Amino acid sequence: MKKIEHIGIAVKNLKESNALFGKLFGEPHYKVETVESEGVNTSFFQVGDNKIELLEASKDDSPIAKFIARKGEGIHHIAFDVDDIEAEIIRLKEEGFIVLNDRPKRGADNKWVAFLHPKSSNGVLIELCQEIKE
């Protein structure tokens, strides 16, 4: 794994949180993107070398709606940049991690993504990201 690609934060209201985090970072979000397959509306902030993703549920059975109902708003996942997501999925499965999607799926901000179940990584939801090159 190369570096943290982004940290995902679950929020109830994207518009309000965009304003709040814009004040925090002193710079507004650079994009908003809906990923319907994941049931999320997202926004992204660039903070120096780092990226923060805010996530709002776009439908009732969204993972974000479930998470907020259980735990409230807060850090939802940590995403890591990888060069070869398919090889990483195989490697991590061999290491005993529970990979939630065997085949990479399309995420936000031009990435292939895959998730590891938090119960196999000490309660932390891990996302793998590889840039889509077309």
Binding site for ligand MC0 (CB under 6 A): 8, 35, 38, 40, 42, 53, 55, 63, 66-67, 70, 76-77, 79, 100, 107-108, 111, 113, 115, 117-119, 123, 125, 127
Q: What are the distances in angstroms from CA 96 to CA 80, 92, 133?
A: 18, 6, 29
Q: How far apart are CA 101 and CA 107, in angstroms?
A: 12
Phi/psi at 28 (nearest 5 deg)? -75, 165
Which is nearer to Co ion, 8 or 104 (by Cβ)? Answer: 8
Q: Let me know: does 34 contact 40? Beta carbons within 8 Å.
A: yes
Q: Let me know: does 52 contact 21? Beta carbons within 8 Å.
A: yes
- Count CB neighbours of 47 within 10 A: 13
CB of 35 to Co ion, least distance (A): 9
* Segment interacting with Co ion, rule: CB under 5 A, options 19-27, 71-79, 83-91, 93-101: 71-79
Q: How far apart are CA 132 and CA 134, in angstroms?
A: 6
Pick from ligand MC0, Co ion, none: which does 42 bind, CB < 5 to 8 A by kind? Answer: ligand MC0
CB of 64 to ligand MC0, least distance (A): 6
CB of 77 to ligand MC0, least distance (A): 5
Which is nearer to Co ion, 94 or 121 (by Cβ)? Answer: 121
When asked if residue 8 is in the footprint of Co ion (CB under 5 A), the reply is yes
